[in-house]
Amino acid sequence: MNEKDYYETLEINSEASAKIIKDAYRRLAFQYHPDRNSGDAAAVERMKGINEAYAVLSDPVKREQYDNLRHAYGNSAYDRFRQDHSENDIFRDSDINQIFEEFSRSFGFRNFEDIFREAYGPGYRTFQFKQGNVFGRGFVFTGRMKQDAFSPDARRGVFSGLVGKLAGYALKKIAGIGTQQDIDRYDVLKLTPEQARQGGKIPYTDKKDSRSILISVPPGITHGKVIRLRGLGPGALYLKAEITKPLLQKIAELLKAR
């Protein structure tokens, strides 16, 4: 069992604010930067661990997922988190590349691409795109599976947000590369207030093949919260929690509106 802890890796406590997380990462990334630790393999591994910890804790959604596992499973939280998160899941939308480029401009270090190619080797690729007046650069991790960087698994989760959609569009037009968003699915999971409060296994019918499955809903889930499911075919299934109002409450609201 791996007893890594993302908070300990960044040398912060679990109550740290977003600013403290970023400041801690900047300090450690500078301390263990390969250009300041030439030939030190241990520093390279330390930097990779710092990168991963920051990518998770700087993202509110991934941080919440990790915190829930940490609360429930203690020292085994890291292993459980990695069972359901690939490198691309972890580094999706991370600003690590921007921070390393700042180091490059400010201190004359090598650029982000050179540093990460050296550290991650064949498990790392970069891309850039230009669509209209929008230009961007990004990176993908192929991770321990050693798959091609533009395979479906490697592309999963990389192209999100407006810039990500433009990047995916550019790659698709230029190289005929599709993105995971082409096959992701979205639906609503309706819950009663009691089901939302108690959580547990909730029945759901997959519209793709009319298959009935049970969805694990965490206790206290709120309206609008999104649950992501994998393993139900290509892509991911995103279910948005919709907490229905009791019939008496609906009637009371209708009468009040008159």
pLDDT of residue 111: 84
pLDDT digits (tens, 9 = 90+) for 197-227: 998 899 988 877 777 888 889 999 988 888 8
pLDDT of residue 141: 60
pLDDT of residue 85: 85
Q: For 58-142, where are the alpha helices, taking DSSP H only?
A: 60-73, 77-83, 87-91, 96-107, 112-120
What is the CATH T-level fold of the domain 6-180, as seen in this structure? Helix Hairpins (1.10.287)
Read off the pTM: 0.55
Across the beta sheet with 237-243, the strand order is: 185-191, 237-243, 226-229
- Residue identified by tokens 């700087």 is 58
95: confidence class by pLDDT, cuts 50, 70, 90: confident
pLDDT above 60: residue 185: yes
pLDDT of residue 22: 96
Lowest mean pLDDT among 188-192, 209-213, 241-245: 209-213
What is the CATH T-level fold of the domain 183-247, as seen in this structure? HSP40/DNAj peptide-binding domain (2.60.260)
* Integer Cα distance of 130 and 125 in angstroms: 18
pLDDT digits (tens, 9 = 90+) for 35-67: 999 889 999 999 999 999 999 999 999 999 999
pLDDT above 50: residue 188: yes
**Nearest Cα to Cα of residue 70 among 81, 59, 56:** 81
**Nearest Cα to Cα of residue 228 among 71, 92, 126, 72:** 92
**Per-domain residue ranges for the chain?**
6-180, 183-247
